[in-house]
Structure 1
Amino acid sequence: MVNEYYDIIIIGTGAGGGTLARILAPSGKKILVLERGTFLPKEKANWNAQEVERKKRYQTSEVWFDKQGRPVHPYTHYYVGGNTKFYGSALYRFRERDFEQVIHQDGISPEWPLKYRDFAPYYAQAERLYDVHGQRGLDPTEPPCNEDYPFPPISHEPYMQQIHDALKNKGFHPSYQPLGIKLNEVNRFLSACIRCNTCDGFPCFINAKADADINGVRPAMVYPNLTLITEAKVLRLHTSVSGREVKVVEAEIAGQRQMFSGDIVVVACGAINSAVLLLRSANDQHPNGLANSSDLVGRYYMMHKMASVAVMSIKSNPIAYPKTLSINDFYWGEKDFAYPMGNVQSLGTISEDRAAINGPPFIPKIMYKAINNRAVAWLLLTEDLPDPNNRVRIKDEKIFLNYTNNNEKAFNRLIKRWNQVLKSIEPFSFYLTTKVSLEAVGHQCGTCRFGEDPKTSVLDLNCRTHDVDNLYIVDGSFFPSSAALNPTLTIIANALRVGEHLLARLNCDVQGYQLQTGQAA
């Protein structure tokens, strides 16, 4: 029995679903948003490293499996806002060349069916909608843009400014990270953000992070035509007899199966869970999974090559918010290496608690106190090349990530070169490099790639499935390649782009939609 009928059903409230809800809400259409989690509780534990990192208080308890059948404990979160509740708010535009075919040492990054110019206006809207701070003209790889960031860059703290200056003196081009936080450095009384040391990797206790909950879902909830149901896990999508449209969305709510139907169904569960939902929705018309005539649902899974480099100086340099520096001098390679290497960006604070939790057990506790005032961490990102054998699959209701590393030579070179650069700045420092494991799924993308040919893609250019007329996907699933930058702003921009298409399909005023995004900043 179907509970109620809606014009639009959105499944998931992360960067894609939360943004789409925000943009469609003013349309007056009857909208249902289903989220498997609840609102993340505001509590002291939000800023407690022991609770967040050691006890994994907010991380899902789900267990997935790798290709050998070994357990994977995914670093993912089921709350309103999704993983953006815990992200570092780094909101980069992809480079113009990222949308073209790029030759890597270990393979090819394919051309996108749409180009940077197609995403550019939506990037601008996304930056306004998510309060992005930054400065144009410093990074030689940045794509063309005719307007400034909505807000000025987040200033470097003194020690980070020293690193910035040292890099510049050596001929590099350090720039500010584009960050979505609600910080006003001119007038602290107007600033929601207090520039604390528990931002990157933590939920924000004071709602000062521009995440999909605060900037997407909550503004959408003021409209009476939008209904949000939390703790609603969608189990399956049921199609018509022809298989050409989704007729019913089946969800589990408070232990009960409930059915909803709508004219348009939008899946935004994250690249892994969106693929899983389609695979679990197999039926007679779609025996290999819903919208999977191409056999590509779940394939081309990408997660970025990621490593952290922790640097401990002999000097005391207390820092509260170091996540402000970005370096792209190695993005497209260097003089004696003609292949892309990737992005370098500073990470959040390595507090005494965080160091003790993530450090080797043999280090005395007193050392972690010293680390607190001397350490800076860096995140290194290299493009994860699309491989059809890197895939999400299900077996006996279990989720498997079949994944094999690639692009290792460029990745290892970036790590080596960045360590060399750091040592040239502070030769007497101590360095610890850690490669990120399969459990780090925060940058997941690629499992339902978009394109013009139904044989080589799952989605069309508007992110509607080729096989099912009323089914869309608006998370990182649509990426044909991963580039070497945080994917969130591209997911947000695409949700705005698809939102414009959906408004036109529903005969809504697209001009009004554009005004709404302009007002949101």
Structure 2
Amino acid sequence: MSEPDGAWDAIVVGTGLGGATIGHRLAAAGHRVLFLEQGHRDPAVAAGAATDGGEDPAQRLAAGYWPDRMRAQIDGRASRPFPVAGCGAGGSSLLYAAALERFAPHDVANWPVGWDEWERHYAAAERLFRVAGTPDPLARDVPALLPVPPAAAADAALMRAFARCGLHPYRLHVGLAYRQGCAECGGRPCPSRCKSDARLICLEPALAHGATLLCDARVVRLDADDRRVTAVRYRRHGSEHRASARIVILAAGAYRSPALLLASTGPAWPEGLANRSGQVGRNLMFHANEWFAVWPPRRADTSGPRKTIGLRDLYTHRGVRLGSIQSTGLSAHAGNIATFLAGWFETGRWRRVPFRRALIWFGARIAQRVLGAATIFVMIVEDRPYADNRVLLDTDDPARIVVRYRIREELRRRTGMARRLIAKAMRGLRVMPLQHDVQLNLGHPCGTCRAGLDPATSVLDADCRAHGVDNLYVVDASFMPSSGGANPGLTVIANALRVAEVVELRLAPAALEPAASPTGA
């Protein structure tokens, strides 16, 4: 396909939940939209696609996974993990498990936009992404009646058991249509168009409205003068190209969006575009995953959907912010139990026990035979922003993701508290923790271009327009001032719908260029 000609109303960099959602709304309103996507157009069906990502970059890209390892320094320890991120038409939503839950009102209390706005756009996001579930009995806000998903008998029995413990389980809010044979497709693209990923829900409809999609297009920088982005530069099939638009929307994810801004230096922006505050890339947050296994009543049927249970009884405890609990759809077989036991044996006095690996596997197999297969749950513990936790630019290879992060003692204390509270709340059930220390969820990066009212302490204004850059918006999870205690997906979608309203006003025929953001600083 040749490069498209002419100027655009909007260029959207990235086709995940944020980018595809806002691009869809703008295209449906009749605006000329160009999507630039680094990955392939059809990663789920590309020839030779790996089912688990593999090691080869080309093979990973063909399967919709981020192709290269990143450089990470976590608590001073260097590592080279693969980012838990998708790369292809649909972005990371190709791989997500489709949990689409609202934040609690206190999660956004210090954000520059009030709860009433979030409530309105959450409702729109739930309708758009076909969210199914039942209301949380403890929530102040009750969403519109959602479709009730099916469940395995084992999960229904667990919900009854949780209720007997005094807890308040509800059907987890998920973007799944539960077509016949639904496998819930977490960690991989959905082959049956059952999962509400960004490609199915927004990107394909946007293309039907006339939007243009260029895949295999890696954006390398944004050119800008002292007020506006003048061009987006991208590499495609070995050549560099430029495209321009009235509005540029960055939605490359909380890893890549700040890196692109840092790479976009110039006379007006010597420290990186939109970085006069020095905040671009800073305040990186994840969530901490607190995994545990719960054994259902014996002989309970485990066939059918398993990612179906939510709990918010421990979302906060005596003013301490923890997070939501959800079933993952995974079962604790011998391998999972062995992983936990290995971590336990490698700490303290147990690391010197001879033949410990054989003991671990023997114990894991005995536990599975005696107890059966458990359901794995996870608490999504809120992370907090710190300026020195950040995404950095690798000047030798600007395409590489570089992360520096230090786990604070307060996070260790809160995850330890969560572990104890879970055991106490589920007393009488067969419960087993599956970790002994903080485990960061590298698939939930957020906060690296935080929104706020003060340009000295934030990157974006209340409308997610970059401070000092009239036509640049950021709509991925990097906008988030705090991480909340739930999956970020629905909040990213709701925010993209909110920002779409602002951008539509600016692109209206009566709008003059350059235009000021209606509510921005």
The answer as to 2:181 corresponding to 1:194 is yes
The answer as to 2:25 corresponding to 1:40 is no
- Partner in structure 2 of residue 90 of structure 1: 99
C-alpha distance 26-338 of structure 1, shift in aligned 2 (>3 A): closer
Whether the 8 Å CA contact 1:6–1:30 is kept in 2: the answer is: yes
Q: Deviations over 1:233-264 (max 9, x none)?
A: 10010113xx2111111101111111111111
Structure 1 CA distance, aligned partners of 2:53 and 2:14? 28
Matches within 5 A, 1:402-481: 402-406=404-408, 407-422=411-426, 424-426=428-430, 431-433=433-435, 437-438=439-440, 440-481=441-482
| Superposed displacement of residue 51, structure 1 | 6.9
The answer as to 2:311 corresponding to 1:327 is yes
Whether the 8 Å CA contact 2:168–2:312 is kept in 1: the answer is: yes
- Partner in structure 1 of residue 351 of structure 2: none
- Partner in structure 2 of residue 172 of structure 1: 167
Q: Deviations over 1:453-496 (max 9, x none)?
A: 21111111111101211111001111111111111111000100
351-360 or 155-164, larger mean C-alpha shift: 351-360
The answer as to 2:233 corresponding to 1:250 is yes
Whether the 8 Å CA contact 2:291–2:378 is kept in 1: the answer is: yes
> Aligned residues, how many?
476
Which of 179, 182, 192 is residue 177 of structure 2 equivalent to?
A: 182
120-129 or 41-50, larger mean C-alpha shift: 41-50
Structure 2 CA distance, aligned partners of 1:3 and 1:357? 57
Structure 2 CA distance, aligned partners of 1:352 and 1:504? 54
| Superposed displacement of residue 82, structure 1 | 1.1
C-alpha distance 7-422 of structure 1, shift in aligned 2 (>3 A): same
Which of 153, 158, 164 is residue 158 of structure 1 equivalent to?
A: 153
- Partner in structure 2 of residue 208 of structure 1: 194
| Superposed displacement of residue 165, structure 1 | 0.8
Point out where structure 2 has 5 or more consecutive residues left out of the alignment.
Answer: 343-356, 512-521
Structure 1 SS opposite 2:10: strand
Structure 2 SS opposite 1:72: coil
Matches within 5 A, 1:98-113: 98-100=107-109, 111-113=110-112
Whether the 8 Å CA contact 1:250–1:260 is kept in 2: the answer is: yes
C-alpha distance 368-129 of structure 1, shift in aligned 2 (>3 A): farther
C-alpha distance 51-209 of structure 1, shift in aligned 2 (>3 A): farther
Which of 303, 319, 334 is residue 286 of structure 2 equivalent to?
A: 303
- Partner in structure 2 of residue 223 of structure 1: 209
Structure 1 SS opposite 2:121: helix
Structure 2 CA distance, aligned partners of 1:208 and 1:45? 23
Q: Deviations over 1:312-366 (max 9, x none)?
A: 5694543442111111111121xxx442222111101338798599786853797
Structure 1 CA distance, aligned partners of 2:45 and 2:261? 33
Q: Deviations over 1:156-184 (max 9, x none)?
A: 3211111111111121111111111113x
- Partner in structure 2 of residue 23 of structure 1: 25
Point out where structure 1 has 5 or more consecutive residues left out of the alignment.
Answer: 101-110, 184-191, 511-521
C-alpha distance 258-238 of structure 1, shift in aligned 2 (>3 A): same
Structure 2 SS opposite 1:132: coil
Structure 2 CA distance, aligned partners of 1:357 and 1:207? 35
| Superposed displacement of residue 193, structure 1 | 5.1
| Superposed displacement of residue 385, structure 1 | 0.7
Paired residue type of 2:190: C
Structure 2 SS opposite 1:348: strand
| Superposed displacement of residue 305, structure 1 | 1.4
Whether the 8 Å CA contact 1:199–1:348 is kept in 2: the answer is: no
C-alpha distance 128-370 of structure 1, shift in aligned 2 (>3 A): farther
Q: Deviations over 1:19-68 (max 9, x none)?
A: 1111111222211100001122238999956979xx97543232222234
Paired residue type of 1:216: C
C-alpha distance 214-371 of structure 1, shift in aligned 2 (>3 A): farther
Structure 1 CA distance, aligned partners of 2:401 and 2:215? 23
Structure 1 SS opposite 2:20: helix
| Superposed displacement of residue 369, structure 1 | 8.7
| Superposed displacement of residue 2, structure 1 | 9.9
| Superposed displacement of residue 155, structure 1 | 3.3
Whether the 8 Å CA contact 2:39–2:64 is kept in 1: the answer is: no
Paired residue type of 1:332: T
Structure 2 SS opposite 1:442: strand
TM (norm. structure 1) is 0.84
- Partner in structure 1 of residue 350 of structure 2: none
Structure 1 CA distance, aligned partners of 2:423 and 2:26? 46
